[in-house]
Amino acid sequence: MRKTLTLLVLASVLALSACSGKKVKPVTGAGGEPVTSTQSGAQTGGAGGGTSGTRGTEGSTANGALGPTGELGSQRVIYFDFDNSDIRPEFIDVVAAHGRFLANNPAVRVRLEGHTDERGSREYNIALGERRSQTVRRALLLQGVKESQIATVSYGEERPAVAGSDELAYSKNRRVEIFYIN
Amino acid sequence: MDLTMLQTLRKFSTRMLSALVLWAGAGAAYADLSIDITKGVTDALSIAVVPFARSVPADGGLDVAAVVQHDLEGSGRFRGMDRKDMLSTPVRVADIQAADWRAARNDYIVVGRLSSISNTELVIDFELVNLLSGQTLLQQRVSVAPSALRHGAHRVADLIYQRLTGTRGAFATRIGYVSVDGAPPAQRYQLLLADADGENIRVILESARPIMSPAWSSDGEWVAYVSFENHASAVYVQRVRTGERRLVSARAGINGAPAFSPDGRRLALTLSGSTGNADIYVLDLATQLLTRITEDPAIDTEATWSPDGKQLYFTSDRAGGPQIYRVGVQGGEAARRLSFGVPYAARPRVSPDGTQLALVVRDSSGYHIAAQDVAGGALRVLTRGSLDESPSFAPNGAQIIYAARERGQAILAMVSADGQVTQRLKADRGEVRDPVWGPYAD
């Protein structure tokens, strides 16, 4: 038996917002993200807005004109083996190309976003994804990139690039994506 | 959000951010949940729940007896009677023709009546009778506001369940969970609360970026969660009744796995700083004092409190792969490993009586929910899916809600703590995951 008590839910939601004394606002801000009132003027949808909608996929230059050009530099996704955060041999030159560019352009910043496939516990996967971002970060630091140029974030298994529970999807989801953010 | 912004937020001033988010859109803004039993006990009790007398306009048309029957059947421990097979519909004990009901193989019968005491109070009067002995086992009155009649029906089911099984019922409780709609890269995330039977669904947060790890406070007033709305993880607490949000932690690196202490004054958290090594901390919510609990190069995360608030159970891969550990919050002694015999054990949760652990294990057939005594001992694997995760105990300790995948769809499921009864909670669209069972409301 399945009853949708839509009316009851809507009524209680409206009642709650009346209680809080605030006018109920529609959800969406610039990229459909929840409106947060402060953030000290740091927009969330605004700057970096270029990165909010599009996501890097293999070989694309999702960040537009930012970052290194050329075959290596235009590759923005590094893939990893299961349960592993080592940079595979075929990606060493890619990471090096980004490292050279950043070392030569100390005002340019990147955000490294680490991901895992869906297997295993969610928060443990957040930490695994961060390990992958950190591996790439350390490789960049070794090339003379400054700490202040690199931010890392891990999404664990929460933001897959490819939906599915097969090995092909898994291999496309174990990744670090490199985003140029200014 | 850049690094300097995150460092500014390191001060942790609590800020009032936006209030309850309303989804302004036509049609159902969230997926409905439907519950069905996949496996019940072999010795289920047969109980006939007769439609209650309802001459009360204020009941809003709610069929209280149907809710009671659905709750009892959903536990897997009762077999209800089909209404079309009922030869009569008594509403009081004196009208019960016991022989008829016994002939239909019922062991127990429930009869009841709704009435209105005032504009603001309805009462449900009911009796539970043992058909074999003729004894009235329960004669009770449940009183509710008209808008809370469904909750009252769940309380009736709780009382019957407790009388017949000896265990307190958890039908009048709530769950929290995350829903995801849409395909990569355009997923939409929601944090939702619902009654434990999947009704009364309410969206409390909506985002284009991931939401995860909801956790209830023991008094049911607050939910903590992780949100990536600012392109980085951050932990928030949100007051359930009003939608008031407070940012708890947005430090560089990981902010994750929030867990309220039983007294509600502290939050266990996973933080990593900019060097990215996940460790467990405890944050005092009033003083903002942060205490570090683990300090090692391994991943330490997914902390959960013992019911006395003195110990934390957590996941650590310090032994090479994830295993379960326990450590005193006061410090001064090494963490003790509790899981053995499997290459992967993670995401511990403690039963309300503090004696059992639910966890996720991996064996050759995939990831399953398992249970073991906190003192150690054999693992009991409770579920058979290959991608089972996120276990959470009901407040009576009798059931565990968890996330699973079935034929490619992400669903919620419940298993009894002894592994005998399983149910599924499926959304009619999208994926549901990361469930957490709320506390008793009293």
B-chain residues near A130 (CB < 8 A): 253-254, 272, 276, 278
Q: How far apart are CA B146 and CA A56, in angstroms?
A: 53
Residue A22 has pLDDT above 60, yes or no: no
Nearest chain B residue to A128, by CA: B299
Q: How many residues does chain B have?
A: 442
pLDDT (0 to 100) of residue A109: 96
Preferred mutation among A122, A137, A180 to probe B, highest tally of B CBs within 10 A: A122
ipTM of the complex in this document: 0.88
Q: Do B347 and A147 touch (CB under 8 A)?
A: no
Q: Do B301 and A165 touch (CB under 8 A)?
A: no
Q: How far apart are CA A159 and CA A173, in angstroms?
A: 8
A-chain residues near B202 (CB < 8 A): 9, 12-13
pLDDT (0 to 100) of residue B275: 85
Q: Are B187 and A159 in contact (CB under 8 A)?
A: yes
Residue A131 has pLDDT above 90, yes or no: yes
Least confident of A8-17, A62-71, A94-103, B246-255: A8-17
Q: Is the dihedral of CA B222, B224, B227, B232 positive or negative?
A: positive
Residue A122 vs residues A21, A115, A126, B216, B256: alpha-carbon distances, Å:
36, 11, 6, 18, 10
Give residue for tokens 């009155």: B141
CB–CB contacts below 8 A, A to B: 200
Residue B384 vs residues A103, B216, B415, B422, B425: alpha-carbon distances, Å:
51, 27, 11, 11, 16
What is the DSSP code string of B334-367?
--EE---SSSEEEEEEE-TTSSEEEEEEEETTEE
Q: Are A114 and A161 in contact (CB under 8 A)?
A: no
Nearest chain B residue to A110, by CA: B2
SS3 B75: coil
| Nearest-CA distance B126 → chain A (Å) | 23
- B259 φ, ψ (degrees, to nearest 5): -145, 120
Please report which confidence band the pLDDT of residue A65 belongs to, taking 50, 70 and 90 as the band edges. low
| Nearest-CA distance B195 → chain A (Å) | 12
Residue A49 vs residues A30, A45, A46, B181: alpha-carbon distances, Å:
8, 5, 5, 22
| B150-B154-B157 Cα angle (round to 5) | 140
- pLDDT tens for chain B, 442 residues: list them: 444 444 444 443 334 333 333 333 344 678 888 777 777 777 899 999 999 998 777 677 899 999 999 999 988 899 999 999 999 999 999 999 999 999 999 999 999 999 998 889 999 999 999 999 999 999 999 999 999 999 999 999 999 999 999 999 999 999 999 999 988 778 899 999 999 999 999 999 999 999 999 999 999 999 999 999 998 999 999 999 999 999 999 999 999 999 999 999 999 999 999 888 999 999 999 999 999 999 999 999 999 999 999 999 999 999 999 999 999 999 888 999 999 999 999 999 999 999 999 999 999 999 999 999 998 788 999 999 999 999 999 999 999 999 999 888 999 999 998 888 888 888 888 899 999 999 998 6
| Nearest-CA distance A43 → chain B (Å) | 8
DSSP for residue B302: E
Q: Are B153 and B68 in contact (CB under 8 A)?
A: yes
A-chain residues near B232 (CB < 8 A): 151, 153
The shortest CB-CB distance from B278 to any of A24, A32, A130 is to A130
Buried b (16+ CB within 10 A) or exposed e, A125-138: bbbbbbbbbbbbbe
Preferred mutation among B202, B204, B277, B314 to probe A, highest tally of A CBs within 10 A: B202
Q: How far apart are CA B305 and CA B244, in angstroms?
A: 25
H/E segment holding residue B106: none
The shortest CB-CB distance from A9 to any of B202, B257, B278 is to B202
- Fold classification of A49-180 is 60s Ribosomal Protein L30; Chain: A; (3.30.1330)
Q: Do B188 and A31 touch (CB under 8 A)?
A: no
A112 vs A73, higher pLDDT: A112
Q: Do A153 and B231 touch (CB under 8 A)?
A: yes
Q: What is the pLDDT of residues B198-218, one digit of tens each?
A: 999 999 999 999 999 999 999
State the architecture of B173-437 in CATH terms.
6 Propeller (2.120)
Q: B319 touching A, CB under 8 A? A: no
Question: Residues B82, B87, B92, B93: what is their CA dihedral angle, to the nearest 10 degrees?
Answer: -100
Cis peptide before B185 (omega within 30 of 0): yes
Please report which confidence band the pLDDT of residue A20 belongs to, taking 50, 70 and 90 as the band edges. very low
Domain limits, CATH 3.40.50.10070, in chain B: 33-165
The shortest CB-CB distance from B229 to any of A17, A36, A158 is to A36
Q: Which residues pair with residue B426 across a beta bridge?
A: B34
CA atoms within 13 A on the CB side of B164: 25
B-chain residues near A147 (CB < 8 A): 274
Q: How far apart are CA B275 and CA B247, in angstroms?
A: 22
- How do the domains of chain A map onto residue ranges? 49-180
Please report which confidence band the pLDDT of residue A176 belongs to, taking 50, 70 and 90 as the band edges. very high
Q: Do A4 and B32 touch (CB under 8 A)?
A: yes
Q: Do A126 and B301 touch (CB under 8 A)?
A: yes
The shortest CB-CB distance from B28 to any of A4, A127, A133 is to A4
- A148 φ, ψ (degrees, to nearest 5): -70, -10
pLDDT (0 to 100) of residue A28: 29
Q: Do A20 and B272 touch (CB under 8 A)?
A: no
- Fold classification of B33-165 is Rossmann fold (3.40.50)
Closest CA to B323 of B342, B304, B309: B342
A-chain residues near B34 (CB < 8 A): 2
Residue A31 has pLDDT above 70, yes or no: no
Residue B361: how many other CB atoms lie within 10 Å: 26
Q: How far apart are CA B230 and CA B73, in angstroms?
A: 44
**In chain B, residues 403-442 whose CB comes closer than 8 Å to chain A:** 405, 408, 434
Preferred mutation among B1, B33, B192, B272 to probe A, highest tally of A CBs within 10 A: B1
Residue A107: how many other CB atoms lie within 10 Å: 8
The shortest CB-CB distance from B299 to any of A5, A8, A124 is to A124
What's CA B353's distance to the chain center, in Å?
A: 16
pLDDT (0 to 100) of residue A26: 24
Q: Do A123 and B212 touch (CB under 8 A)?
A: yes
Q: How far apart are CA B388 and CA B401, in angstroms?
A: 10
Closest CA to B71 of B190, B182, B159, B144: B159
Closest CA to A176 of A117, A131, A133, A122: A133
Nearest chain A residue to B179, by CA: A158
| Nearest-CA distance B187 → chain A (Å) | 8
Q: How far apart are CA B202 and CA B32, in angstroms?
A: 10
The shortest CB-CB distance from B70 to any of A1, A37, A54 is to A1
Q: Which residues pair with residue A65 across a beta bridge?
A: none
Residue A61 has pLDDT above 60, yes or no: no
SS3 A52: helix
Q: How far apart are CA A169 and CA A54, in angstroms?
A: 19
Q: How far apart are CA B151 and CA B149, in angstroms?
A: 5
Q: Do B315 and A4 touch (CB under 8 A)?
A: no
What's CA A159's distance to the chain center, in Å?
A: 8
Q: What is the pLDDT of residues B32-55, one digit of tens each?
A: 887 777 777 778 999 999 999 987
Q: Do B229 and A44 touch (CB under 8 A)?
A: yes
pLDDT (0 to 100) of residue B427: 83
